[in-house]
């Protein structure tokens, strides 16, 4: 999983570098907070941090041979990811209609502002989606009694992916929304 995360991190790194160069070289780049909602995405950030915490609590419960508690916290984690996706869908629709942003064009500035935003957050959203599916599969396996003996290594591997998604969002939130 670590090796996969390394390659995935490089992919995100490439996308963010492309974003950075397009932005720095474009004098007309708008101030992100004028068009992107910081409050909503800060809430989404908080949500992902919470879901990361519930993930580690789930793993600690599994190690203490409490599969029932681990199942609950896994479902809570997946719920956090699902709400994050819901917020993102709402945000996209809002940006389409209220701010004139489409995948390839932007009404009030350079089109790269729009396309880099959507490709970076969209690629991350795809990770959140696959993470939620991954967590639900782990929850099903927990419910089936596969981790009753306290050996939760595969849950930890799922957790690694989930924390990575959280970590990337921490970076994306700063680079895309705050700077």
Partner 1 sequence: MAHASTSHGAVLDQAALDQAEKAKVSKYIKIFWALCIFTVAEVGIVFFEKVLSKLVIDSVVILFTMLKAGFVGYYFMHLEYEKRWTKIVAVLPLLIVGFYAIFLMPDTVRERPISLYVAEPARVYPVHEEAKSETAAAPIEGQFFQVKAGEASSGAPAGAAPVAAPVSAPAAGSAPTSDNPLDSVEAWR
Q: Does 107 bind partner 1 (CB under 8 A)?
A: no
Binder to partner 1 among 19, 56, 67, 106 (CB under 8 A)? 56
* From 33, 102, 104, 130, residue interacting with partner 1 (rule: CB under 8 A): 33
Separation between Cα atoms, residue 15 and residue 35, nearest integer Å: 21
For 12, half-sphere exposure in the C-beta direction (CA atoms, 13 angstrom radius) is 25
Which of the stretches 50-58, 78-86, 99-107, 130-138 binds partner 1 when contact is defined by CB under 8 A?
50-58
Sign of CA dihedral 31, 34, 36, 38: positive
Nearest distance from C-beta of residue 43 to partner 1, angstroms: 10
C-beta of residue 128 within 8 angstroms of C-beta of residue 85: yes
Q: Which residue has the tokens 């991350």?
A: 124
Which of 66, 94, 141, 146 touches partner 1 by CB under 8 A? 66
Contact 116, 23 (CB under 8 A): yes
Residues 113-172, interacting with partner 1 (CB under 8 A): 149-153, 156, 159-160, 163-164, 166-167, 170-171
* DSSP count for the chain of H helices, then E strands: 6, 0
Give which of 103, 101, 119 is closest to 176, Cα–Cα: 119
**Would you tell me which residues interact with partner 1 (CB under 8 A)?**
2-3, 5-6, 9-10, 13-14, 16-17, 20-21, 24-25, 27, 33, 38, 42, 45-46, 49-50, 52-53, 55-57, 60-66, 149-153, 156, 159-160, 163-164, 166-167, 170-171, 173-174, 178-179
């Amino acid at each position: 999983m670590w090796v996969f995360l390394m390659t995935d991190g490089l992919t995100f790194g490439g996308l963010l570098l492309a974003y950075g160069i397009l932005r720095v070289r474009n004098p007309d780049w708008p101030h992100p907070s004028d068009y992107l909602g910081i409050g909503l995405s800060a809430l989404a950030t908080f949500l992902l941090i919470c879901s990361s915490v519930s993930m580690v609590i789930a793993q600690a419960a599994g190690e203490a041979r409490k599969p029932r508690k681990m199942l609950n916290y896994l479902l809570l984690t997946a719920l956090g990811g699902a709400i994050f996706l819901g917020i993102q869908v709402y945000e996209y629709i809002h940006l389409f209609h209220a701010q004139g942003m489409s995948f390839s064009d932007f009404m009030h500035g350079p089109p790269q502002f729009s396309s880099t935003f959507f490709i970076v957050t969209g690629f991350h959203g795809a990770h959140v989606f696959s993470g939620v599916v991954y967590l639900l599969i782990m929850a099903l396996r927990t419910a089936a009694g596969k981790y009753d003996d306290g050996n939760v290594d595969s849950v930890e591997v799922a957790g690694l992916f989930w924390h990575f998604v959280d970590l990337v969002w921490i970076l994306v939130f700063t680079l895309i929304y705050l700077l």
